[in-house]
Structure 1
Amino acid sequence: MTALFEHELRDLLAEQLDVLEPGLTLVQCEFALSDPPLRTRGWIDILARDRHGLWVIIELKRAASTSREALHEVAKYAELLQRDKQLAPDRIRALIVSTDWRELLVPVSNMARDWSHDLRGYELQVYDDRTLSAERVALLPPSPEQYVTPVHAIYLYASPQDRDRGWKHIRQIASEIGAPNLLAADFERVSAKDSVSAHYGLYLGIGTVEWGSALSDSPDVDGYGSEHPAEYEALSGINARVRCVEVDSAYPGVLGTLLGNPNWEITGYRGTGAFAPDNGAYEERDWLQMLVGHDRGDGHFKYIGSANPRITSRWRSFVDQAMTSLGGNPEWELLVRAWLERVAEQPGDIDVVLWIYNPCDLIQTVIYGWPDELAQWEPRIKAVARFPDGSRSVAQGMLCANSTGGAPGFHHYVHEVYRDPVSWMTTRYGGTTWISDLDLVRRLGLRYMMLDLASDHPGPPAPEDERGLWLVEDGQAARYSSNDPEFFMTWQLNTYGGKLVTLREFLTTYRYEVNTLRIEYLNGVDVRL
């Protein structure tokens, strides 16, 4: 039949709304909307109600040349209708109906995933007898995110040439078994070379395996590969065939330890698939963050990230990843979440940066950090939120005490929780150290807390700046402001003479017992025998 004009097609569809879905009833064609304060107006092609009483915006497009206008108009009309009728977002739906979906499929699929209103698409067929049929369009599924999983390994080689050949072999194996996304870092021994068997290393992280591949049917495994069985299976396949001097298992955080060791140096990165150097999606800093696990909280106890709460999808991921690294520390988990929620309530774009180190292992902190490197090993949080007006909120999390200690002493409490060094090592291998650590921290009178400071000026804090003391009370996060009367009493109860007792000051009180404990645990002997 002769092609219909768009207004003719609109009137025809208005008479046959059931071809879209049963129960649609016409409200009006060319429904006028306007908002004088916003200086905008428009006309909905067809406004209908569905069988549940929801308002349905039907936007009709006849050809590809006009299809690209559809998203703009649907978004505009949904907002105007919501304001005009004073409706909740879930009371409004939208249908895009077109005879040509070539230009619409990709943008509508993207919008439908994140829009606050239900959005669907229909492809319309017009027959010679002026009857219509419509088929619902299958929108595109989300593109799977490619990221480096916590399944890692280390390979040592005798020479750079051997490492290059090893990488080529690893790529070949991974391609054959269905693991196309790999990320690796080259590292070399730069000093104390006689103490290791090989000087050239390759640190490998396995990227996500796509659903539907042969590996995606891998059986469940125990241990660190339990959350990523397909990737663990891929690593097992690589390790079974790889040729090198030595193979070691690894996990997020191991590369960070290598970075902190002056005997090793990272010299470059390699990748395949989504992480190939010519992909253009990532920079060197991104590759490092992926391998150390900071970008997703996969380091379990360490996280570095930034986000803007107005970008809601990223903000949700940011908060979830931060909470992952705070697992095993319920007090900090509550406090950080509450601080982030408080920050997000402020208007405008806000730049939030979060740095977390949450080992949940006071014994590790003591034996490796005391006394000279305690700042590197003690649990801590640093967070900064910068607001549009130039003001900022700076938060700091720490492990503190409200006293300098007392009888029966540090050594006594440690042995109440850990019978001996073997007992501590057993909890580490079993992944339950955090449980014992909570008990030890409580017995010692230590407490995880947070302080924040709000300032509207650059530079160091000023006496008039508001301070906040964050504590967990009755299972809830509580903030005491220095502007409120109860702040002084709360501060006195949680400090020693009005001064916070830091972990260093607390351990200094017990320095002789701490030194004895270090000897005991580093040498694996019980000094009480």
Structure 2
Amino acid sequence: MSTKQTELAIQNALADRLGAIEPGMKLVKENYHLQNSAGTRGFVDILARDRHGIFVPIEVKKSDNTAREAIHEVLKYCELLRRERGMRVDQVRAVIASTDWKELIVPFTEISRSSVYPIMGVKIDVGTDFPASMAVEPVTPLPVPNERDLSVAAIRMPIVNRSDADEKWDSLTRSLVKVGIEDLIGVLAVRPHDETGILHVALGVADADDPRLPAPDEDEGLEEPELHAAEYRAACAAGFEHPEAEVTVPEKLTRYMQTNSLEVAHVYRRGSFEDWRDLINDSEAAAMAQHAAGWNQVLLRSSANTSHSLAWGRFRARVDYVLEGNPDWTQVLRLWLDEVEHQGKSLDVVLQVYNPADFLASLIHGYGGDLRSLIPEISGAVDAPRGDGKLIHGLLTWDGRPIKDLWQAIHVAYPTVADWGMARAVGGVYETDMDLLRSLGLKYSLFEFLPDSALPSQLIAEDGNLRRIPSGADGVSWPGVRPLQELLQHVDFGPVVESFRQCMTPVDGGDQWIVSG
């Protein structure tokens, strides 16, 4: 290939041969002048129209040094055709024509996917007998990269020392790679006084088209999660090769570490997460493995800006995920976030959601001790300029209705202790928990605090709209909304809690319980 021709000569030759780009494309004008009331004026190298009548600004480049300017130019011309000529967005598309694509191919790939204007790329080969030898070939954008994230599947193995952990990490990663899981984060958590503990391995999201992934086996009767089912099957397949391995979920790592007083001693990485070592430190990687900011069904700690559409959408999806099984908070919080999103500003939103969705378990493990840390709660804030932000707080509240027979109220949801154990085992506790709360007169409530108001308002969903109920005249009060602490003061849960505790045997370091009775 020869590129000794000037950029202007290539432009003129291309203007005479627009059909080489696309059949039916016709010239409007070379060096078309566009006014720019918002900045500098511009001259479109070639303005054409395609066979459907759509206007096509064509930017011509002949070297890497100038090619990098092409993206800026075509986007500017498309916008100016709309802004200065009043064209609709569907009346404009663009073409980048260049002799060299080394510097251009990556930004072209991105802009061709994300621009509202269709952007086409063509490579020009001037040949040896220019202009007769000039050839034009379409440029194919690079394939969409696989975005790396952690799935909801994890594997846990007991370890006796660091050497044991290293061996199990190596063995387990080999098994997982065989079934299509390339990206992994491993957390070694040990007791401070010795090296015993666990190896928790969080599985990355696999390539859905990877032939190594295990296929669904309907005859096996394996109940799979709706989210990341392929990764769950891969975890099970790898776990079969390691008798000590247990397939688990990310949120259990935090609970297991707290129950057994474990500390993070080392973080392992593989695949993309190893490549991120210079971007994400071990502390953040360990937090990722616990999914405090990811796909966690119990705990979410995350933030996002309303103007960053992709990150905001991901944030909203993860809020919905952690609130699964909690229709009261889900509906109100969705409406509240919709309202924030539609304020038309760039707003930072910070949320912490703790939604165990098992009030009975909270009582059993926390009654008489640190119950408050086990009770569902939402804390959130909108950080806005000029001090017009807001805070929200969600918690369980009591309607004040007396409970004459506590056992009878509990039996509405769980006729026996074993029924509660079975609901936990099969993942049905989310549904029965709502029955229990209603029987006890409890509900999930959400409150909003504004900077110009000394008292909060209760947020409720009414006919698909968000409604604010101001505090009563006597202070922070609403009809049928009383603190959970008042219920605990009026009703002695001690005998019920003790009865359940006597039917429970801790196993696996207190992370699991055998429930009988």
TM over 0.5: yes
| Alignment partners' CA distance in 1, 2:13 and 2:359 | 74
| Alignment partners' CA distance in 1, 2:266 and 2:275 | 11
Which of these residues, 256, 259, 264, is aligned with residue 257 of structure 2?
259
Report the counterpart of residue 458 of structure 1 in structure 2: none
| Alignment partners' CA distance in 2, 1:209 and 1:306 | 25
| Alignment partners' CA distance in 1, 2:366 and 2:147 | 38
Contact persistence 1:19–1:132 (CA under 8 A): no
Q: Which runs of 5+ in 2 are unaligned?
A: 505-516
- Give the superposition deviation at 1:70: 0.5
- Give the superposition deviation at 1:382: 0.9
Structure 1 residues 488, 130: closer, same or farther in 2, change over 3 A? farther
Structure 1 residues 446, 477: closer, same or farther in 2, change over 3 A? farther
Structure 1 residues 277, 68: closer, same or farther in 2, change over 3 A? closer
Deviation readout 1:449-491 (Å, 9 max, x if unpaired): 3212222xxxxxx7x45744310223x2413275xxxx769x9
Contact persistence 2:179–2:214 (CA under 8 A): no
Contact persistence 2:403–2:440 (CA under 8 A): no
| Alignment partners' CA distance in 1, 2:174 and 2:110 | 35
| Alignment partners' CA distance in 1, 2:16 and 2:457 | 63
Report the counterpart of residue 468 of structure 2 in structure 1: 480
1:508 matched to 2:489: yes
Counterparts of 1:379-390 in structure 2, within 5 Å, are 379-390=376-387
Which of these residues, 406, 411, 423, is aligned with residue 407 of structure 2?
411
| Alignment partners' CA distance in 2, 1:133 and 1:406 | 86
Report the counterpart of residue 182 of structure 1 in structure 2: 184
Percent of residue pairs bearing the same amino acid type: 27
What SS class does the counterpart of residue 267 from structure 1 fall into? strand
Report the counterpart of residue 299 of structure 1 in structure 2: 296
1:106 matched to 2:106: yes
Report the counterpart of residue 32 of structure 1 in structure 2: 33
| Alignment partners' CA distance in 1, 2:457 and 2:365 | 32
Contact persistence 2:403–2:409 (CA under 8 A): no
| Alignment partners' CA distance in 2, 1:340 and 1:179 | 35
Paired residue type of 1:413: A
Structure 1 residues 449, 21: closer, same or farther in 2, change over 3 A? farther
Give RMSD over aligned pairs: 3.1
Report the counterpart of residue 459 of structure 1 in structure 2: none
Structure 1 residues 85, 2: closer, same or farther in 2, change over 3 A? closer
Contact persistence 1:451–1:469 (CA under 8 A): yes
| Alignment partners' CA distance in 1, 2:89 and 2:447 | 38
Deviation readout 1:62-100 (Å, 9 max, x if unpaired): 232310010111222222222223445444322212222
TM-score of the pair, normalised by structure 1: 0.84
What SS class does the counterpart of residue 109 from structure 1 fall into? helix
Contact persistence 2:394–2:446 (CA under 8 A): yes
Report the counterpart of residue 213 of structure 2 in structure 1: 216
What SS class does the counterpart of residue 223 from structure 1 fall into? coil
- Give the superposition deviation at 1:211: 4.9
- Give the superposition deviation at 1:257: 0.1
1:495 matched to 2:484: no
Report the counterpart of residue 458 of structure 2 in structure 1: 469
Equivalenced residues, count: 498
What SS class does the counterpart of residue 215 from structure 1 fall into? coil
Q: Which runs of 5+ in 1 are unaligned?
A: 456-461
Contact persistence 1:24–1:49 (CA under 8 A): yes
Deviation readout 1:424-461 (Å, 9 max, x if unpaired): 22222222222222333334433323212222xxxxxx
Of 441-450 and 323-332, the range deviating more from structure 2: 441-450
TM-score of the pair, normalised by structure 2: 0.86
Report the counterpart of residue 439 of structure 1 in structure 2: 435
Report the counterpart of residue 67 of structure 2 in structure 1: 67
Contact persistence 2:472–2:478 (CA under 8 A): no
| Alignment partners' CA distance in 1, 2:370 and 2:224 | 29
Contact persistence 2:358–2:430 (CA under 8 A): yes
Deviation readout 1:488-518 (Å, 9 max, x if unpaired): 69x999435xxx41223233322x2x22332
| Alignment partners' CA distance in 1, 2:335 and 2:388 | 19
Structure 1 residues 445, 81: closer, same or farther in 2, change over 3 A? farther
Paired residue type of 2:32: F
Paired residue type of 2:154: H
What SS class does the counterpart of residue 449 from structure 1 fall into? strand
Structure 1 residues 388, 81: closer, same or farther in 2, change over 3 A? farther
Contact persistence 1:29–1:46 (CA under 8 A): yes
| Alignment partners' CA distance in 1, 2:3 and 2:270 | 53
What SS class does the counterpart of residue 381 from structure 1 fall into? strand
- Give the superposition deviation at 1:356: 0.8
Deviation readout 1:349-398 (Å, 9 max, x if unpaired): 43221111122222222222324322211111111121233442111122
What SS class does the counterpart of residue 72 from structure 1 fall into? helix
| Alignment partners' CA distance in 2, 1:181 and 1:379 | 32
Of 392-401 and 228-237, the range deviating more from structure 2: 228-237
| Alignment partners' CA distance in 2, 1:52 and 1:427 | 61
Counterparts of 1:165-314 in structure 2, within 5 Å, are 165-175=167-177, 178-190=180-192, 199-211=196-208, 213-216=210-213, 218-219=215-216, 222-224=222-224, 227-228=227-228, 230-242=230-242, 246-261=244-259, 263-276=261-274, 279-296=277-294, 298-314=295-311
1:43 matched to 2:43: yes
Structure 1 residues 200, 388: closer, same or farther in 2, change over 3 A? same
Paired residue type of 1:406: P
What SS class does the counterpart of residue 520 from structure 1 fall into? helix
